[in-house]
Structure formats: structure tokens, C-alpha cells
Chain A
């Protein structure tokens, strides 16, 4: 049975875009930190995606395309257009700043990385860090996007992805240590010996 051109396009949309619903929902949830808001973002994302389906380039990553739309929907949904935090693109500088606390982070986190189911704690920690860092960590670490893909979704240079990723991961680690202490996995460490 032959399909008409629009029918074929619709079938492609269903087969491609709709299979990414879980991923888009997770990304929207991480952006909004709220289930109801995430649902709105997902709905709007799919409507926009469907309306502009002809602009999707076959062979490119459908998730990257949908993530980009979702983030734009999210940004527009916020009442105040907040100025993006501009960050230094030099990852090496971040490394220097963080090096002193590396040992402290490692000692604090090691016990829980090995044992506990960290899932809920990680999501709690993700919700607690600023969106600028959260988006990039979610895209690269949870949704497996490359630096280049994440840069395109977020509309920033690859170097910015790299430095935000570094800062975001360190912020997460700090949050997780607080969780580990609260949950009694590790005693409050003495930062002075780090």
C-alpha cells in the first residue's frame, strides 16, 4: 500500500520523534524541576516539532533536534528573560580552582558511590544546582550527548559546554556529599586537610 507524501512524513514523525518521548520528558523535567511544567514543555515541544517537521534534516540526531526545541520552549515559558550567566571558557582555570577540593570531594563521595543507590539523591542534587549547569550535565551525562551536540542544543560554544560541565559536576559532587552526610553514610569531613 502506497502512502501519500504527507502520510509518509507523518509516519516518519511518529517513528522517530515519538520514540524520543521518554528522553524529551526527562530533559524537560530536569529543566523545569516540576512535573506539570515539564508536561507543558513536552506538549509544546511536540506541537512545534510536528509543525516544523520539514525542517528536520534526516540523518541528523532527532534527540538533539527535540532537545533544542524543548529548551527554547522552556526559556520562552519563563516570565523573566534572565540573562544567561556568562562563564569563563577556560576549563583549565576551573581545574585550578577545584583542584584544592578534589581530595575532599573524593573522600566524601567514595563511600556512597560504592554502596548506595544514588538515583534519588542524584536527581535531588541536580534539581538543586543552577539551570545553566543542570542542562549541560543532563545532556552529556544522562542523555549521552556529545559536547558538540550539547553546544548546539544550548546555543553556546563547545568550550562553554566543557567548562559548565566541569563546574556542574563539581557542584553535584558537593551536593551529594551533603546528602551522604545527612543520610549518615559519612561523617562531616574536615575540609582543612584536603
Chain B
């Protein structure tokens, strides 16, 4: 995915950090991702920051568990769909 990649080389911290979320979200091309990773692994500041954002995103992802559709609503939805003609 290169939709918002201006193609400029990653030459400093700002360049790397501008691409950080795209990288963590898996939105960069493999080549681009290698570039950003190589900066991050060689730069303590960016490494600390990338590590923090990654743990933050993991915490968000973990917050997804639970909070599913209540059983009563599931039944209501199926009932309403049957009334509309759902046969299976």
C-alpha cells in the first residue's frame, strides 16, 4: 500500500516517525517497512517511541475482547429476520 507514501527516503527521525503508525498497522510496502525498521533499530529515541506505540496498540486490541452482542438482542434480530422471511 503506497497511497500516502510520498516516496521520500527515510533519512531522519521525523521521516521514520511519520511512517511509524503506517508500519505498525501493516500499511507499508515491504521495502518501505524495512527502511523504517532499519532506522528504528539503530536509533534509541525512535526505538523507545516505536516500542511504546506498539504496546499502546496492543492494549487497544486487547480491549476488544468481551462486549459482544447480548443473547437477547441476537434472538430479537433473528426473530425480526424470520418475520422478514429468513428461512435458515
Contacts and interface: CB of A to CB of B under 8 A. Distances in A.
Interface of A: 6-7, 10-11, 13-14, 18, 21-22, 24-26, 29, 39, 42-43, 46-47, 50-51, 91-92, 95, 99, 102, 106, 109-110, 113-114, 118-119, 122-123, 137, 140-144, 146-148, 158-159, 162, 165-166, 169, 172-173
B42 interface: no
Contacts, number: 120
Contacts of A113: 52, 55-56, 59
A29 B60 CA distance: 16
A51 B56 CA distance: 40
Contacts of A142: 60-61, 63-64
Secondary structure call for the A interface: helix
A18 B65 CA distance: 18
Interface in B1-29: 1, 3-4, 14, 17-18, 21-22, 25-27
Chain B, interface size category, equals 35 or more
Interface string B25-39: 111000000000000
Interface string B46-65: 00110010011101111111
14 contacts: A6-B87, A7-B87, A14-B88, A25-B67, A46-B81, A95-B17, A109-B52, A109-B56, A122-B63, A137-B60, A141-B61, A144-B61, A146-B27, A165-B25
A10 B63 contact: no
Contacts of B57: 141, 169
B18 A95 contact: yes
A25 B73 CA distance: 9
A99 B68 CA distance: 36
Interface string B66-88: 11111001101110110011111
